[in-house]
């Protein structure tokens, strides 16, 4: 078994991948191990000192900052005995006098990763096999000096898939630049924006815009602000005002800049004033309390909720509904989407929120990026299909091609550290 | 002392609940207090944790001068208060947006796309170890296939550049149904935990404040 | 020039952070960024706090509607600031933790902030009920599916659901409401969540690229040309 | 007096719902403020008058209960307190019910915690339940509390092979080797059942993945309602059973009460909290039905 391991490492690797996919199988395997252990339990042993593990090595873990060292060994010949407990791993750093225990693994495990080393420091490791009654003589490794690598080659798959998806998006952006108009399906929530603004104008009421309650360090907030730009551009043409209470100071600054610019580009810079956007409080429910108050007192005709929302989503949407406002919501918080869907007139579900500003801009380059996203989705579907076929056929067919293929498709989508 | 806290708590609890009937001065007082106090609270927390704890201690005690970059950007942010300084406050903003884009791109990419795709690659026949594949549990297989088909249909619904017509439109429609089941299920599931919150407040009113229940 | 510099900053910072993932020496840069962000956010607080004071002072000055409540807000805000900055009533004095037990700051949190926040949160119980009453109607096929799924889950969480279907024999036990509820949670629910999450991630990737490449620049107050 | 109040409130709720039904049959809508009122009533009335419902346990809860019920006496059962005060209202009823059941069946009880905050909650349980309700049980013989060790999954990885590597003494400072309850016990593999209470991290999932499921030790647990859906996929193969949220706790309490009438009088916070929960749920469902009736009738009219 050891020979085959050396001769074909990748085969072992992919077998372990398959095993990890067939999680339900694991208990059965360990059951076998327990059974075989039981059979030897009857041996009368007074003081049982196990044989030490062999070929103990410590090597620098590749492609990291030098903070990991992999210690591995061949199992002790007594490993399968019922009395056998496991292995203690000790470490001594350069300049330290004694070995310190850094970890223990149960019987049957032949590696341990030390995750607390420093780059360019020498370490020596010691592995001790143990039973309840005694310890085997320790085995000491050679000195290992973990180092800091330049490039993390283990992430080749992230790089590859990332390059493919980003490449698709960038390709369609630049492709569109050359003037080819792309078809984009209708998104109901966005089609409704003009009507909603028109309705506010007819009623002579304001528009309420909530960009979520997260700060600018959430890409959902940025998405909300970009939609704000488009909405403000339309609103600027009418004699109505945007009312935008915000929960974050940086959002306050950004939103003002955005609306101001939108009014300027609509040729009505004088209609803009700073009071359209005001800061309330950073506190989630304090903010909601105030916005609820604003809603019932000002009775806006249209409410936009576009950004990152948490539990307050339903409080806002229900209050908005009670004043008879048209409500257009959008968020990428999966837990809050059900509430918006239930209580609002239109909801942009997840991806649609990010697509919204591109859609509204109607600019070829922006629309091109949506096409790029679709290529990503197609690729994800193909990958899932191939992966499912792979794992299924691996069970039915005994073919090295199927094995290799299945290993590859899984490796492509797993993040190895 | 404890009593003061109890009565204040009860006053504000009922003040907020009174909003359910309609907007009224009691709610307005509660709201105004809440806004003022909470804005002050977060300002103070951020002041001691970030301005003092991170910037001041970091620069003056730990000599971590790189933090000054953050400080400089912070000051640029404030320059918008000057009549002519508005344009420079876009720099910290550009910095934030750039960093967030880069960070989110990689993060979502690896943790959402790759991980979700990986965990959907399940075998069509889930089998028990050692038994022939086709004696697998039917329910498990149906479940796996349902997850895969549902995921596919859901993704098809999100396609933007292809018109939802014909077979493709049918798949997209099935996708939105799956998504609706998801929403309905999460909604139904959350009702219970939302009720617990109200039970907690009612317990405060009837138990701790009015001492009507044990 | 004024327009170009921010776009260049966004581009460089974005690309650097993407690439940094592949280089162990700099893979921690995104943590540094979040510290920078926290520091920028504190400075920005002066904008937000200033705006809060200005808006409410203005209301009081001009005797606008509800101006009396603005005084309450200002008072609460300034009192909390004073309590926190000067650590009033803090048993440990000025060097102690700002939120030490017994300090005015902590008392105001426990007595005012906390019950207000908890009650606001608890309003959800009422809104969940009114939203289900109004929205869960078999208006069209989508709404019907939404209705059925949530009704099964709701039923599964009450004794009623257990009793109503406990007569179904074990061999069809999947049709018993509690089991059906579990199946919905683990199969179609999972599929929907996956589709939404993969979609969101691709949306983020594409949005981020638009921002980094400067295709999307509305947030910088710079309209697309 | 109490009874009159109860009857009146239930009458109000019952008649109110009936009136809503009539309103709906006429195709009209109910004012949302009345919905709010009835949700408030549905929560307050059971709380004030202590209304409870009998709970019929679901299979996923029964599997845990009858595992403990049917193990031979003196079996070794470990309960891990993996939660903190904020989660306690939801999951503490579960750990309490487990403790009572285990001791009542004369099993040996091993208490530990993977959460630092779980340690003091475990100590409270020993004081208020074990010592008070089971005065005959001897510490170190019938039960033991070995307390908390930091390290989460790391702790599991170690004690799966040897308790004594992590826990040298129990919380009172007694050497494990001096305790009869630890005679012949080296690791988790010697346990007959592992129970983890608490749905956070580390919690039931980690116990299943890194201890029970890996080495075929029966593992079950209880968790807050929000984390239950994430755990269902492990049932029944890797996880024996699960108590999800207050409902799971209530089901377990009621089965415990039915099988062991001794516990008729012990506090049952799970069942008690299910009162308002259940009534509120029923009201929400009733409103959904009423909403649909009025919708169909008004559409027919058009």
D201 and D78 in a common domain: yes
Q: Is the pLDDT of residue D196 over 80?
A: yes
Helical pair A156-177 and A400-412, crossing angle rounded to 10 deg: 70
Q: Is the pLDDT of residue B128 over 80?
A: no
Q: Is the pLDDT of residue B104 over 80?
A: yes
Interface test with A, best of D161, D163, D194 (most A CBs within 10 A): D161
Token pair in block for residue B5:
């806290």
D125 and D37 in a common domain: no
Q: Is the pLDDT of residue A17 over 70?
A: no
Beta-carbon-side half-sphere exposure of residue D65 (alpha carbons within 13 Å): 23
Q: Is the pLDDT of residue D145 over 70?
A: yes
Q: Is the pLDDT of residue A286 over 90?
A: yes
**pLDDT, tens digit (0-9, with 9 covering 90-100), for A167-226:** 999 999 888 866 667 788 999 899 999 999 999 999 999 999 999 999 998 999 999 999
Token pair in block for residue C216:
């999307």
D212 and D75 in a common domain: yes
What is the structure's pLDDT at A21? 41
Pick C200's closest partner by Cβ from A260, A261, A350: A350
Question: Given an 8 Å threshold on Cβ–Cβ distance, is A86 in contact with D215?
Answer: no
SS (H, E, C) A104-127: EEECCCCEEEECCCCCCCCEEEEE
Give the domain range for residue B144.
136-214
Question: Given an 8 Å threshold on Cβ–Cβ distance, is B183 in contact with A338?
Answer: yes
Pick B199's closest partner by Cβ from D50, D226, D276: D276
CATH number at residue D229: 3.40.50
For residue A278, name the pLDDT band (cuts at 50, 70, 90): very high
CA nearest D227 in C: which residue?
A: C185
**Residue whose tokens read 């398959």:** A18
CA–CA dist B55, B62 (Å, integer): 10
**pLDDT, tens digit (0-9, with 9 covering 90-100), for D252-265:** 999 999 999 999 88
Does residue C9 form part of some domain? yes
CB A79 within 8 Å of CB A107: yes
Q: Hey, is the C-beta of A241 within 8 angstroms of any chain B C-beta? A: no
Specify the range with the lowest mean pLDDT, choosing from A293-297, B187-191, C176-180, D233-237. Answer: D233-237
Query: Which B residues 162-191 touch A at CB under 8 Å?
Result: 162-164, 179-180, 182-184, 186-187, 190
Q: Which residues of A touch B187 (CB under 8 A)?
A: 338-339, 342
Q: Is the pLDDT of residue A25 over 60?
A: no
D228 and D83 in a common domain: yes
DSSP state of A135: B
Specify the range with the lowest mean pLDDT, choosing from C153-157, D212-216, D276-280. Answer: D212-216
CATH number at residue A213: 3.40.50
Overall average pLDDT of the C23-47 stretch = 87
Q: Is the pLDDT of residue C150 over 80?
A: yes
For residue A382, name the pLDDT band (cuts at 50, 70, 90): very high
More confident residue, A65 or C69: C69
A351 and A399 in a common domain: no
Q: Hey, is the C-beta of B151 within 8 angstroms of any chain C C-beta? A: yes
A324 and A198 in a common domain: yes
Q: Determine how many CB atoms are found less than 10 A away from the CB of residue A307.
A: 30
CA–CA dist C184, C178 (Å, integer): 10
The shortest C-alpha distance from B184 to chain A (Å) reads 7
A322 and A192 in a common domain: yes
**Contacts with D302 (C-beta within 8 Å, 6 or more apart), sequence order:** none
Question: Given an 8 Å threshold on Cβ–Cβ distance, is B198 in contact with D89?
Answer: no
**Contacts with A242 (C-beta within 8 Å, 6 or more apart), sequence order:** A206, A207, A209, A231, A232, A235, A259, A276
CA–CA dist A243, A206 (Å, integer): 7
D287 and D168 in a common domain: no
Question: Given an 8 Å threshold on Cβ–Cβ distance, is A339 in contact with C131?
Answer: yes
What is the structure's pLDDT at D56? 81
Q: Which residues of B touch C202 (CB under 8 A)?
A: 113
**Residue whose tokens read 């959008």:** A330
CA–CA dist D59, D199 (Å, integer): 20
Interface test with C, best of D280, D284, D293 (most C CBs within 10 A): D284
Element (H, E) at A354: helix A351-361
Give the domain range for residue C196.
136-214
**pLDDT, tens digit (0-9, with 9 covering 90-100), for B58-67:** 899 888 888 9
Which CA distances in Å does D125 have to A230, C69, D89? 59, 48, 14
Token pair in block for residue A398:
């005994």
Question: Given an 8 Å threshold on Cβ–Cβ distance, is B196 in contact with D226?
Answer: no
What is the structure's pLDDT at B12? 96
CB A330 within 8 Å of CB A189: yes
Q: Hey, is the C-beta of A108 within 8 angstroms of any chain D C-beta? A: no
The shortest C-alpha distance from B3 to chain A (Å) reads 24
DSSP bridge pairs for A86: A106, A130
Q: Hey, is the C-beta of D54 within 8 angstroms of any chain C C-beta? A: yes
What is the structure's pLDDT at A179? 64
- Strand D241-244 relative to strand D143-148, pairing: unpaired
- Strand A84-93 relative to strand A123-131, pairing: antiparallel
A249 and A111 in a common domain: no
Pick D216's closest partner by Cβ from A23, A27, A105: A27
Does residue C155 form part of some domain? yes
A157 and A144 in a common domain: no
D65 and D33 in a common domain: no
Does residue B149 form part of some domain? yes
Per the structure, the count of domains in chain B is 1
D280 and D161 in a common domain: no
**pLDDT, tens digit (0-9, with 9 covering 90-100), for C161-208:** 777 887 777 767 777 787 788 788 878 888 999 999 999 999 999 999
Q: Determine how many CB atoms are found less than 10 A away from the CB of residue C25.
A: 15
Q: Is the pLDDT of residue A29 over 50?
A: no
Give CA C47 to chain center in angstroms.
21
Phi then psi for D77, rounded to 5 degrees? -125, 130
Beta-carbon-side half-sphere exposure of residue B12 (alpha carbons within 13 Å): 28
Helix, coil or strand: residue C24? helix
CA–CA dist D245, B88 (Å, integer): 52
Does residue C44 form part of some domain? yes
Give CA A400 to chain center in angstroms.
33
CA–CA dist A224, A232 (Å, integer): 12
CA–CA dist A318, D32 (Å, integer): 10
What is the percent of chain D with per-residue pLDDT over 70, rounded to a whole number?
Answer: 98
Which CA distances in Å does C96 have to A188, B39, C81? 56, 22, 16
Question: Given an 8 Å threshold on Cβ–Cβ distance, is A30 in contact with D214?
Answer: yes
Give the domain range for residue A220.
182-362
D174 and D113 in a common domain: yes
Question: Given an 8 Å threshold on Cβ–Cβ distance, is B192 in contact with D273?
Answer: no
For residue C9, name the pLDDT band (cuts at 50, 70, 90): very high
D278 and D206 in a common domain: no
Q: Which residues of A touch B129 (CB under 8 A)?
A: 22, 24-25, 28-29
- Strand A69-74 relative to strand A111-114, pairing: antiparallel
A141 and A129 in a common domain: yes
CB C196 within 8 Å of CB B179: yes
For residue D299, name the pLDDT band (cuts at 50, 70, 90): confident
A304 and A203 in a common domain: yes
Q: Hey, is the C-beta of D161 within 8 angstroms of any chain A C-beta? A: yes
For residue B129, name the pLDDT band (cuts at 50, 70, 90): very low
Q: Determine how many CB atoms are found less than 10 A away from the CB of residue A273.
A: 12
What is the structure's pLDDT at A35? 41
CA nearest B109 in A: which residue?
A: A162
Overall average pLDDT of the A65-78 stretch = 87
Per the structure, the count of domains in chain D is 2
Per the structure, the count of domains in chain A is 3
Beta-carbon-side half-sphere exposure of residue C153 (alpha carbons within 13 Å): 26
What is the structure's pLDDT at A178? 67
Pick B199's closest partner by Cβ from D36, D247, D273: D273
Helix, coil or strand: residue A88? strand
Overall average pLDDT of the D232-260 stretch = 87
For residue D93, name the pLDDT band (cuts at 50, 70, 90): very high
DSSP state of A144: B
CA–CA dist D142, D110 (Å, integer): 9
Question: Given an 8 Å threshold on Cβ–Cβ distance, is D245 in contact with B195?
Answer: no
CA nearest D271 in C: which residue?
A: C159
A256 and A200 in a common domain: yes
The shortest C-alpha distance from A392 to chain B (Å) reads 5
DSSP annotation string for chain D: -HHHHHHHHHHHHHHHHHHHHHHHHTT-PPPHHHHHHHHHHHHHHHHHHT-----PPPHHHHHHHHHHHHSPTT-EEEEEE---TTTHHHHHHHHHHHHHHHHHTT-EEEEEESSHHHHHHHHHHIIIIIIHH-TT--BTTTEEEEEE-S-THHHHHHHTT-GGGT-SB-TT--BGGG-GGGTT--SGGG-SEEEEE-SSSSSHHHHIIIIIHHHT--EEEEE-GGGHHHHGGGTTTT--EEEEHHHHHHHHHHHHHHH-GGGGSS--HHHHHHHHHHHHHHHHHHHHHHHHHHHHHHHHH-
Specify the range with the lowest mean pLDDT, choosing from A102-116, B140-154, B155-169. Answer: A102-116
What is the structure's pLDDT at A244? 96
CA–CA dist C77, D2 (Å, integer): 45
Q: Determine how many CB atoms are found less than 10 A away from the CB of residue D237.
A: 17
Q: Is the pLDDT of residue A280 over 70?
A: yes
Specify the range with the lowest mean pLDDT, choosing from A81-95, A131-145, A297-311, D224-238. Answer: D224-238
Give the domain range for residue D38.
2-52+271-301
What is the structure's pLDDT at A118? 85
**Contacts with A403 (C-beta within 8 Å, 6 or more apart), sequence order:** A11, A14, A394
**pLDDT, tens digit (0-9, with 9 covering 90-100), for D125-136:** 999 999 999 999
Q: Is the pLDDT of residue A163 over 90?
A: yes
**Residue whose tokens read 């001041």:** B56
Q: Hey, is the C-beta of D297 within 8 angstroms of any chain C C-beta? A: no
Token pair in block for residue A104:
């223990």
The shortest C-alpha distance from D43 to chain B (Å) reads 6
Question: Given an 8 Å threshold on Cβ–Cβ distance, is A392 in contact with B100?
Answer: no
Overall average pLDDT of the A272-284 stretch = 93
Does residue C14 form part of some domain? yes
What is the structure's pLDDT at C223? 46
CATH number at residue A90: 2.60.40.10
Question: Given an 8 Å threshold on Cβ–Cβ distance, is C32 in contact with B66?
Answer: yes
A309 and A382 in a common domain: no
Does residue B6 form part of some domain? no
Does residue B22 form part of some domain? no
Does residue C118 form part of some domain? no
D243 and D109 in a common domain: yes
Q: Hey, is the C-beta of A33 within 8 angstroms of any chain B C-beta? A: no
D63 and D177 in a common domain: yes
CA–CA dist D15, C174 (Å, integer): 36
What is the structure's pLDDT at A22? 40
What is the structure's pLDDT at A33? 40
Specify the range with the lowest mean pLDDT, choosing from A61-65, A67-71, A144-148, A194-198. Answer: A61-65
The shortest C-alpha distance from D186 to chain A (Å) reads 8
**pLDDT, tens digit (0-9, with 9 covering 90-100), for D46-60:** 888 888 877 888 888
Find, among A293, A316, A292, A315, the residue nearest to A304 by Cα: A316
Token pair in block for residue A388:
């499912």
Instruction: Please give the angle made by the CA atoms of B207, B210 and B213, to the nearest 5 degrees.
Output: 35
ipTM above 0.90, yes or no: no
What is the structure's pLDDT at D238? 78
**pLDDT, tens digit (0-9, with 9 covering 90-100), for C83-128:** 999 999 888 888 888 888 888 999 999 899 999 999 999 999 999 9
Q: Hey, is the C-beta of D295 within 8 angstroms of any chain C C-beta? A: yes
What is the structure's pLDDT at A86? 80
Does residue C208 form part of some domain? yes
Token pair in block for residue A219:
């890409």
Q: Hey, is the C-beta of B51 within 8 angstroms of any chain A C-beta? A: no
CA nearest D52 in C: which residue?
A: C159
A324 and A187 in a common domain: yes
Q: Is the pLDDT of residue A20 over 60?
A: no
Q: Determine how many CB atoms are found less than 10 A away from the CB of residue A113.
A: 15
Instruction: Please give the angle made by the CA atoms of C93, C94 and C98, to the nearest 5 degrees.
Output: 95
**What Rg do the C-alpha atoms of chain C give, in angstroms?**
27
What is the structure's pLDDT at B136? 44
Does residue A15 form part of some domain? no
For residue D2, name the pLDDT band (cuts at 50, 70, 90): low
For residue A40, name the pLDDT band (cuts at 50, 70, 90): very low
The shortest C-alpha distance from D276 to chain C (Å) reads 11
D106 and D84 in a common domain: yes
Question: Given an 8 Å threshold on Cβ–Cβ distance, is D246 in contact with B198?
Answer: no
Per the structure, the count of domains in chain C is 2
CB C115 within 8 Å of CB B9: yes
- Strand A346-349 relative to strand D76-81, pairing: unpaired
**Residue whose tokens read 């999932």:** D205
CA nearest D39 in C: which residue?
A: C126
Question: Given an 8 Å threshold on Cβ–Cβ distance, is B192 in contact with D225?
Answer: yes
**Residue whose tokens read 């006098």:** A97
**Contacts with D25 (C-beta within 8 Å, 6 or more apart), sequence order:** D293, D294, D297
Specify the range with the lowest mean pLDDT, choosing from A67-76, B15-24, D229-238. Answer: D229-238
């Amino acid at each position: 078994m050891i020979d085959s391991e050396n001769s074909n490492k990748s085969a072992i690797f992919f077998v372990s991948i398959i095993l990890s996919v067939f999680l339900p199988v694991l208990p059965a395997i360990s059951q076998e191990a327990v059974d075989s252990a039981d059979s030897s339990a009857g041996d009368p042993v007074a003081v049982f000192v196990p044989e030490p593990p062999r070929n103990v090595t410590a090597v620098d873990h590749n492609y990291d900052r030098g903070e990991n060292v992999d210690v591995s060994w061949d199992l002790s010949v007594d490993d399968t005995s019922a009395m056998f407990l496991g292995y203690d791993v000790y470490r001594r750093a350069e300049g330290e006098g004694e070995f310190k225990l850094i970890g223990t693994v149960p019987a049957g495990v032949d590696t341990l990763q030390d995750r607390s080393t420093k780059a360019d420091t020498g370490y020596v490791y010691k592995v001790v096999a143990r039973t309840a009654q005694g310890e085997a003589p320790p085995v000491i490794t050679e000195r290992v000096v973990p180092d800091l690598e330049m490039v993390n080659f283990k992430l080749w798959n992230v790089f590859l898939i990332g390059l493919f998806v980003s490449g698709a998006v960038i390709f369609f952006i630049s492709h569109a630049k050359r003037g080819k108009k792309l078809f984009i399906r209708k998104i109901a929530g966005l089609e409704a924006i003009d009507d909603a603004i028109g309705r506010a104008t007819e009623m002579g009421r304001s528009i309420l815009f909530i960009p979520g309650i997260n700060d600018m360090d959430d890409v959902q907030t940025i998405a909300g602000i970009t939609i704000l730009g488009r909405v403000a551009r339309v609103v600027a043409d009418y004699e109505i005002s945007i009312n935008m209470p915000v929960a974050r100071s940086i959002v306050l600054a950004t939103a003002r800049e955005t609306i101001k610019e939108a009014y300027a580009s609509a040729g009505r810079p004088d209609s803009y004033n700073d009071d359209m956007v005001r800061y309330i409080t950073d506190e989630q429910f304090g903010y909601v309390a105030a916005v609820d108050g604003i809603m019932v007192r000002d009775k806006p005709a249209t409410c936009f909720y576009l950004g990152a929302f948490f539990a307050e989503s339903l409080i806002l949407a229900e209050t908005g509904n009670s004043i008879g406002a048209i409500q257009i919501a959008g968020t990428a918080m999966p837990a809050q989407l059900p509430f918006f869907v239930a209580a609002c007139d239109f909801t942009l579900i997840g991806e649609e929120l990010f697509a919204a500003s591109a859609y509204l801009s109607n600019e070829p380059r922006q629309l091109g990026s949506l096409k790029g996203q679709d290529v990503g989705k197609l690729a994800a579907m193909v990958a899932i299909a191939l992966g499912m076929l792979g794992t299924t056929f691996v069970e039915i067919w005994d073919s090295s091609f199927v094995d290799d293929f299945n290993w590859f498709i899984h490796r492509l989508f797993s993040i190895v550290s | 002392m404890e009593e003061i806290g109890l009565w204040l708590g009860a006053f504000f609890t009922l003040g907020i609940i009174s909003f359910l009937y309609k907007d009224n001065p009691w709610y307005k007082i509660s709201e105004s207090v809440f806004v003022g106090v909470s804005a002050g609270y977060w300002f103070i927390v951020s002041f001691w944790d970030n301005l003092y704890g991170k910037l001041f201690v970091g620069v003056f005690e730990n000599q971590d001068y790189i933090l000054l970059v953050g400080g400089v950007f912070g000051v640029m942010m404030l320059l918008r208060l000057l009549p002519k300084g508005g344009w420079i406050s876009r720099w910290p903003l550009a910095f934030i947006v750039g960093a967030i884009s880069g960070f989110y791109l990689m993060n979502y990419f690896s943790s959402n796309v790759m991980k979700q795709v990986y965990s959907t690659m399940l075998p069509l026949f889930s089998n028990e170890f050692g038994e022939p594949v086709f004696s697998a549990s039917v329910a498990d297989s149906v479940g796996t296939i349902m997850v895969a088909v549902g995921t596919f249909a859901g993704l098809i619904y999100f396609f933007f550049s292809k018109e939802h017509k014909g077979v493709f439109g049918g798949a997209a429609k099935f996708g939105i149904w799956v998504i609706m089941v998801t929403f309905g299920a999460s909604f139904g599931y959350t009702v219970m935990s939302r009720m617990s919150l109200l039970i907690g407040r009612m317990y405060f009113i009837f138990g701790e404040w009015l001492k009507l229940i044990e | 020039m004024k327009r170009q510099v921010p776009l260049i900053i966004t581009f460089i910072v974005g690309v650097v952070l993407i690439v940094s993932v592949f280089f162990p020496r700099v893979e921690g840069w995104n943590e540094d960024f979040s510290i920078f962000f926290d520091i920028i956010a504190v400075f920005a607080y002066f904008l937000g706090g200033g705006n809060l004071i200005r808006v409410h002072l203005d209301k009081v000055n001009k005797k606008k509607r509800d101006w009396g409540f603005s005084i309450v807000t200002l008072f609460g805000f300034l009192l909390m600031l004073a309590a926190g900055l000067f650590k009033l009533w803090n048993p440990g004095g000025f060097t102690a933790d700002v939120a030490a037990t017994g300090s005015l700051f902590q008392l105001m949190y426990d007595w005012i902030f906390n019950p207000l926040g908890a009650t606001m949160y608890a309003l959800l119980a009422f809104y969940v009920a009114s939203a289900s009453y109004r929205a869960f109607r078999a208006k069209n096929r989508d709404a019907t599916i939404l209705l059925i799924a949530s009704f099964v889950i709701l039923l599964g969480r009450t004794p009623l659901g257990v009793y109503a279907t406990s007569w179904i024999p074990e061999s069809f036990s999947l049709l018993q409401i509690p089991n059906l509820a579990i199946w919905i949670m683990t199969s179609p629910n999972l599929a929907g969540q996956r589709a939404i999450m993969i979609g969101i991630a691709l949306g983020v990737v594409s949005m981020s690229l638009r921002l980094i490449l400067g295709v999307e620049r509305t947030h910088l107050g710079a309209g697309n040309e | 007096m109490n009874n009159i109040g109860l009857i009146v409130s239930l009458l109000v709720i019952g008649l109110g719902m009936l009136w809503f039904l009539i309103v709906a049959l006429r195709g009209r809508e109910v004012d949302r403020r009345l919905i709010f009122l009835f949700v408030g009533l549905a929560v307050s009335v059971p709380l004030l008058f202590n209304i409870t419902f009998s709970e019929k346990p679901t299979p996923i809860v029964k599997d845990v209960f009858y595992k403990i019920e049917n193990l031979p006496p003196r079996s070794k059962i470990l309960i891990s307190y993996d939660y903190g005060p904020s989660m306690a209202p939801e999951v503490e009823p579960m750990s309490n019910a487990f403790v009572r059941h285990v001791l009542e069946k004369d099993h040996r009880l091993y208490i530990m915690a993977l959460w630092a905050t779980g340690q003091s909650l475990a100590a409270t349980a020993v004081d208020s339940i074990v010592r008070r309700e089971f005065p005959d049980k001897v510490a170190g013989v019938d039960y033991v509390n070995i307390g908390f060790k930091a390290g989460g999954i790391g702790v599991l990885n170690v004690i799966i092979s040897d308790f004594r590597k992590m826990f040298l003494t129990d919380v009172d400072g007694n050497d494990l080797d001096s305790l009869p309850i630890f005679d012949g016990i080296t690791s988790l593999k010697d346990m007959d059942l592992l129970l983890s209470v608490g749905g956070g991290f580390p919690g039931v999932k980690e116990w299943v993945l890194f201890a029970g499921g890996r080495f075929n030790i029966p593992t079950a647990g209880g968790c807050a309602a929000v984390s239950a859906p994430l755990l269902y996929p492990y049932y029944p193969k890797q996880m024996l059973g699960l108590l999800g949220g207050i409902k799971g706790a209530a089901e377990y309490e009621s089965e415990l009460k039915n099988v062991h009438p001794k516990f008729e009088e012990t506090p049952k916070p799970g069942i008690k909290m299910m009162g308002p929960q259940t009534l509120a749920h029923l009201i929400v469902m009733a409103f959904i039905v009423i909403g649909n009736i009025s919708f169909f009738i008004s559409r027919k009219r058009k």
